[in-house]
Amino acid sequence: MLDRLMRDGLAGLFVLCLLTAPPALAQPAGQSTHTTTQAPENVILLIPDGFGPASATFARDYLRATSGRFELAFDSLHIGSTRTASSDSRITDSAAAGTALATGHKTYNGAISVDSTGRPVAHLVEAAEARGMTTGLVVTSRITHATPAVFSAHVRDRGEEDRIAVQQLDAGIEILMGGGLRHFLPDASGGQRTDGRNLVDEATEAGYHVVRSASALKQAPREGALLGLFADSHMAYEIDRAQTQQPRLATMTRHALDRLSGSENGFFLMVEGSRIDHAGHSNDAAAHLQDILAFEEAVTAALDYARSDGETLVLVLSDHETGGLSVGRNRDGEGIYEWHPAPLAKVTASQGAMVRSIMDGSEPERVLATSAGIDSLRAEETERLRAATGNPRALHAALSEIIGRRSLVGWTSLAHTAVDVSTYAYGPGWEAFIGSHENTYIAHALARLLDADLEALTPRSETTEIRSR
């Protein structure tokens, strides 16, 4: 009876809450007050690759401890979560996760916008191009890497990056920026293509303005198509970027928005903080952190644009979590109620850069002092570093543990994990993303908002090529 009373009482209370919920409950504080039932004119989809729920806490706590800022730029736009499993694994890779977000199809790990049978399926950039929208992809990985590839190509294996590059230039995309120059140049010109094609020359002939450095990007004319290839492979981690000629992710994003802003039929821009994921794979806390903050700056650029424009949907969502990041961990078998952001502020290089210095002959103790601000090592740590010398993987693990022990940041995997990832949205159509959804839902919801039909664009026979224009 008491049980029943409590149950009924709670149910009644729940109904009462629903009836009396103020509008503010249904609309996160960060949302604009203009009418939100309209369809967006433009879409900016920002993907922090490998950014899990713990990554948000991690970056926010760091800001609170070191800068006096209390929120990430997109915190107040948090409206839901995305489930990430692929068709053949509870733990997705970026190719299957990206294909789900771009096409609405669950597929196998490694697939680039083909379904689980290998059939090409239309993606959102094709849908946008078919509607006459202008499109752009801005990333910090190779532009031929999994996430940008699913928005620009169809291949059965993500490793086919030379083929992906060819398809990307045929896709009618107006702006392509990232790394990956090696897949656009033949051997003879310093690239890796074995078919002898020089896609940089082909792109120029097709009307792309091609740039390879931050200064060339700055000077580039603001109209026409743009191909920015700023590194042979991936662009640098943000923490190492000062040693390069590469632009910041936010600079590339602002440049893209500048070019896209005049689009007569609207635009679709995908921006990826690609290397948040790579730092997770390396269990490199400081590189993970700085790439998150660089991504946050790009989100701020997108939100600034959307707030002044009023017609732009900004959607921020990760494809999966990487590394099993934990803010708080055991030390010597003891659980500890602390984690310390401050030691990460002293780290000025990625673990990869530190490993390269050690492999090139620098003393590990010296590298840790100059690049991580760690002056004294415990005897076991010195011993572990000595034993790892000559073995990059073991050096990565040793450095990660040394830094993790001091900050009490932990990692449980060198791969991805299955945890749901967060969704953030702002602008016309944002309500469509409230709640917990399969990743495939995102593509369907975006297609609906753009009044596009992904199925109609998908050819019935796999021998038919998808034509976006």
Question: Which residues contribute to the site for Zn ion (CB under 5 A)?
Answer: 49, 94, 277, 319
Do residues 255 and 163 lie in contact, with contact meaning Cβ atoms separated by under 8 Å?
no
Name the minimum Å distance from CB 170 to Zn ion: 25
Q: Which residue is nearest to Zn ion (CB)?
A: 94
Tell me the three-class secondary structure of the chain, residue by residue: CHHHHHHHHHHHHHHHHHHHCCHHHHCCCCCCCCCCCCCCCEEEEEEECECCHHHHHHHHHHHHHHCCCCCCCCHHHEEEEEECCCCCCCCCCHHHHHHHHHHCCCCCCCCECECCCCCECCCHHHHHHHCCCEEEEEEEEECCCHHHHHCCCCECCCCCHHHHHHHHHHCCCCEEEEECHHHCCEHHHCCCECCCCCHHHHHHHCCEEEECCHHHHHHCCCCCEEEEECCCCCCCCHHHHHHCCCCCHHHHHHHHHHHHCCCCCCEEEEEEECHHHHHHHCCCHHHHHHHHHHHHHHHHHHHHHHHHHCCEEEEEECCCEECCCEECCEECCEECCCCCCHHHHCCCCCHHHHHHHHHCCCCHHHHHHHHHCCCCCCHHHHHHHHHHCCCHHHHHHHHHHHHHHHHCEECCCCCEECCCEEEEEECCCHHHHCEEEEHHHHHHHHHHHCCCCHHHHCCCCCCCCCCCC
Name the minimum Å distance from CB 98 to Zn ion: 7
Choice between 84 and 263, CB closer to Zn ion: 84
Do residues 92 and 448 lie in contact, with contact meaning Cβ atoms separated by under 8 Å?
no
Provide the annotated active-site residues: 94
Choice between 319 and 420, CB closer to Zn ion: 319
Choice between 101 and 367, CB closer to Zn ion: 101
Residue 205: count other Cβ atoms within 10 Å of its Cβ: 8
Name the minimum Å distance from CB 319 to Zn ion: 4
Name the minimum Å distance from CB 63 to Zn ion: 24
Choice between 49 and 297, CB closer to Zn ion: 49
Name the minimum Å distance from CB 322 to Zn ion: 7
Query: Would the CA dihedral through 343, 325, 434, 14 be positive or negative?
Result: negative
Do residues 298 and 27 lie in contact, with contact meaning Cβ atoms separated by under 8 Å?
no
Choice between 136 and 280, CB closer to Zn ion: 280
Name the minimum Å distance from CB 55 to Zn ion: 12
Choice between 49 and 129, CB closer to Zn ion: 49
Do residues 176 and 135 lie in contact, with contact meaning Cβ atoms separated by under 8 Å?
no
Choice between 193 and 275, CB closer to Zn ion: 275
Calculate the dihedral angle through the C-alpha atoms of 87, 93, 98, 101, rounding to the nearest 10 degrees: 50
Choice between 83 and 131, CB closer to Zn ion: 83
Name the minimum Å distance from CB 306 to Zn ion: 24
What would the two tokens of residue 136 be? 């752009």
Strands 416-417 and 267-273: unpaired
Distance CA 436, CA 441 (A): 10
